[in-house]
Structure 1
Amino acid sequence: MLNSQQITPPRSVGVLLFPAFSNHCLANAVEPLRGANMLSRRALYDWSFLSPDGAGVASSSGLTVQPEGRLSDHPGGDYLLVMPSYDFERQATPGLLRALRAAAGRFRTVVGLDTGSWLMAAAGLLDGRRATIHWDELENLAERFPDTEVTEDRFVLDGNRITCGGTTTTFELMLHLIGAHHGAMLRLEVAALFMHGEADPRADPLMRLPRDRLVQAAVSIMRRNIETPLPVGQIAERLNLSQRGLEAHFARATGMSPRAVYTALRLRQARLLAERTTLSVAEIATRCGYGDASAMTRAFRREFGHPPSAFRTT
């Protein structure tokens, strides 16, 4: 399986920046992709920075990014991330709107981040579509573009058009896409890399959690108990669920059982220790909840295609 994955070309992402773009939004869009590449040890995504005219673009806080080229010169790819922030109405010039319409024919999916939905709607790319935008602009977008169904969702996927409301929701969207492309475990790994997830759910045991947040809450408990794994029933009890209820929930949300997710988390911790420490395989096995190093090595090979020794940093 590893060989078949390695020959899959990376998904190509164009990041279209405008003057006064948000650094926070840019980082939340690109860093999860970088994290996915790093954790998988292969190029799942590549990206290039673009601007309408190819000139350098200064963010709202003064950070300047030198794009790799103009939008009109880019051959296209899988995703175009449209990323204005302030002054988005002034940026909706006839030339820019023509360039966006042309780009929509070269990129498989166009994504509006922060106030990017406005430019997409102005270009006619959201006619008859559901969309969202930064919450400060929801009413404005709905009034200006009646052919677009504006919702208050954090992000909206409507075919080959995706819209997102702001910086934090951009991170959530990218996690969602990583999960859709490469599975729930990589999505959870990327979330963990940036410490994104639930705090201790016992702080508010009566809280009713939406589906994905419940998975994150369970995974948070698992991560804190790697060396001495908890029974699934005990994790469910901490979340005020039955074991059967937690298992059914995981099956719906991730397509995996809680036990399988827990095992995968432990093995990823083992991989991290193999990469970053000089601990013996026996010590790594102990730290990851395995009483037998041989059993961990067999599980490790099944998960990653190679033994722990192959992941030692040279």
Structure 2
Amino acid sequence: MPFSEKLPDYRKISVLLFEAFSNHCLANTIEPFRAANTIAREPLYIWQYFSMDGGTVTSSSGLPVETASWPHARPQGDILFLMPSYGFRDLATPRLSHTLRAARERFQLIVGLDTGAWLMACAGLLDGRQATIHWDEFTLFAETFPDIDVLEDRFVLNSDLATCGGASTAIELMLEMIKQQHSAMFSLEVGALFMHGDKLDLHDPYQRMSSHKLVGSATALMRRTIETPLTIPELAGRLKTDQRDLERHFQKEMTMSPLAVYKAIRLREARRLVELTRLSVAEIATRCGYRNASALTRAYRLEFGAPPRTHRSATGP
């Protein structure tokens, strides 16, 4: 989508690609924003791909991506993603370092993905800051840049700079960014499209005590039991945690109770079925754990400000 289009309240994203970038990392970065636009039914995010010289850039798996020339476009906006992968040390040239220092003035947030932290460090952007990098490069990164507080975290997100440990963690960082920019519930809804929310490893006590992991596992279980909802004590029992701890973790991560989140998940599934299927409201009520169509309609109206039939008529015949 061209940046010249006038769109209300959108965030402008630039992606600076380098040869042999990770296609996995690119998909995990952009797809959550595409999903956010789909769910919101409006362009919350727009993005464009750049490279230092423009033209076709090819991923490590052979995927070609057409890019605009960074020096010619001189883009600016809300978020700049740096996406190198293999051969990143050869990319850290004085020209690129100058480019990144200049970009610092034109973007609210610069994010180094995969080995992008190395390029940021060479440009002096991370001095005195916390950062992480792909785990294969962690030790060398810490030794090469002693002025950086290198953390063994999946990502490090601050208001102006962020770094991420690899392709598999990129989606977690994007969901956290969406959470901060919109809401925890909206981020959860985006994550659900990618089945994000791993099953809890009950043999790992550290994972069990993590708010993020526990809430992710709880919401995944909620999604699997929409038709026959569990009580909150039953949910806590399935997760082998105390109900009060479960409530506390949800308040910390979601600022909502487990019951409120469970209800929101069920109603968003109901809205999806209303808009994408021709199922009757009574059938949707059954599939979403409501006693009857009237009960669903009341809850639906309170959540979305309109009854199911209004959303159905707005989305097609």
Same-fold call, TM > 0.5? Answer: yes
Structure 2 Cα separation of the partners of residues 205 and 149 of structure 1: 31
Maintained 8 Å contact 1:72/1:99: no
Structure 2 Cα separation of the partners of residues 69 and 307 of structure 1: 48
Structure 2 Cα separation of the partners of residues 25 and 70 of structure 1: 20
Maintained 8 Å contact 1:88/1:115: yes
Structure 2 Cα separation of the partners of residues 222 and 287 of structure 1: 13
Structure 1 Cα separation of the partners of residues 244 and 174 of structure 2: 30
Q: Residue type of the partner of 1:276?
A: L
Aligned to 1:256: 256
Structure 1 Cα separation of the partners of residues 97 and 72 of structure 2: 11
Question: Which region of structure 1 is more displaced relative to structure 2, 204-213 or 74-83?
Answer: 204-213
Consecutive unaligned residues in structure 1, runs of 5 or more = 1-6
Aligned to 1:191: 191
Aligned to 1:215: 215
Maintained 8 Å contact 1:16/1:71: no
Aligned to 1:279: 279
Aligned to 2:169: 169
Structure 1 Cα separation of the partners of residues 158 and 261 of structure 2: 29
Structure 1 Cα separation of the partners of residues 204 and 119 of structure 2: 42
User: What are the Cα deviations for residues 173-194 of structure 1, in whole angstroms up to 9, with x where unaligned?
Assistant: 0111111111111222222211
TM-score of the aligned structures, taking structure 1 as reference length: 0.92
Aligned to 2:111: 111
Q: CA deviation at 1:63?
A: 0.8
Aligned to 2:3: none
Q: CA deviation at 1:55?
A: 2.0
Q: CA deviation at 1:304?
A: 2.4
Structure 2 Cα separation of the partners of residues 205 and 301 of structure 1: 42
Structure 1 Cα separation of the partners of residues 286 and 197 of structure 2: 26
Maintained 8 Å contact 1:57/1:64: yes
Change (3 A) 1:288 1:53: same
- The number of residue pairs the alignment matches comes to 306
Aligned to 1:224: 224
Aligned to 2:23: 23
Q: CA deviation at 1:145?
A: 1.9
Structure 1 Cα separation of the partners of residues 72 and 260 of structure 2: 46
Q: Secondary structure at the match of 1:191?
A: helix
1:121 aligns with 2:121: yes
Structure 2 Cα separation of the partners of residues 167 and 288 of structure 1: 34
Change (3 A) 1:8 1:302: farther
Structure 2 Cα separation of the partners of residues 267 and 41 of structure 1: 17
Aligned to 1:134: 134
After TM superposition, the structure 1 = structure 2 runs for residues 1-314 of structure 1, keeping only pairs within 5 Å, are 9-70=9-70, 73-199=73-199, 201=200, 204=202, 207=205, 208-209=207-208, 210-312=210-312, 313-314=315-316
Change (3 A) 1:194 1:182: same
Question: Which region of structure 1 is more displaced relative to structure 2, 213-222 or 76-85?
Answer: 213-222
Q: Residue type of the partner of 2:202?
A: D
Q: CA deviation at 1:222?
A: 1.1
Question: Which region of structure 1 is more displaced relative to structure 2, 304-313 or 182-191?
Answer: 304-313
Q: Secondary structure at the match of 1:82?
A: strand
Structure 2 Cα separation of the partners of residues 103 and 160 of structure 1: 12
TM-score of the aligned structures, taking structure 2 as reference length: 0.91
Structure 2 Cα separation of the partners of residues 205 and 240 of structure 1: 10
User: What are the Cα deviations for residues 215-257 of structure 1, in whole angstroms up to 9, with x where unaligned?
Assistant: 1111122112111211111101112223222112211121000
Change (3 A) 1:144 1:225: same
Aligned to 1:3: none
Maintained 8 Å contact 1:21/1:59: yes
Q: CA deviation at 1:114?
A: 0.3
What value does the CA root-mean-square deviation take over the aligned residues? 1.7
Q: Secondary structure at the match of 1:228?
A: coil
Structure 1 Cα separation of the partners of residues 16 and 275 of structure 2: 35
Q: Residue type of the partner of 1:122?
A: C
Question: Which region of structure 1 is more displaced relative to structure 2, 276-285 or 7-16?
Answer: 7-16
Change (3 A) 1:140 1:173: same
Consecutive unaligned residues in structure 2, runs of 5 or more = 1-6
Structure 1 Cα separation of the partners of residues 203 and 157 of structure 2: 32
**Percent of pairs with identical residues:** 56
Q: CA deviation at 1:205?
A: 6.2
Q: Residue type of the partner of 1:124?
A: G
User: What are the Cα deviations for residues 280-314 of structure 1, in whole angstroms up to 9, with x where unaligned?
Assistant: 11221121111132332232233223322233342
User: What are the Cα deviations for residues 72-115 of structure 1, in whole angstroms up to 9, with x where unaligned?
Assistant: 62331111000000111111111111111111110001000000
Question: Which region of structure 1 is more displaced relative to structure 2, 273-282 or 285-294?
Answer: 285-294
Q: CA deviation at 1:71?
A: 5.2
User: What are the Cα deviations for residues 260-284 of structure 1, in whole angstroms up to 9, with x where unaligned?
Assistant: 0000000011011112110111221
Change (3 A) 1:155 1:71: farther
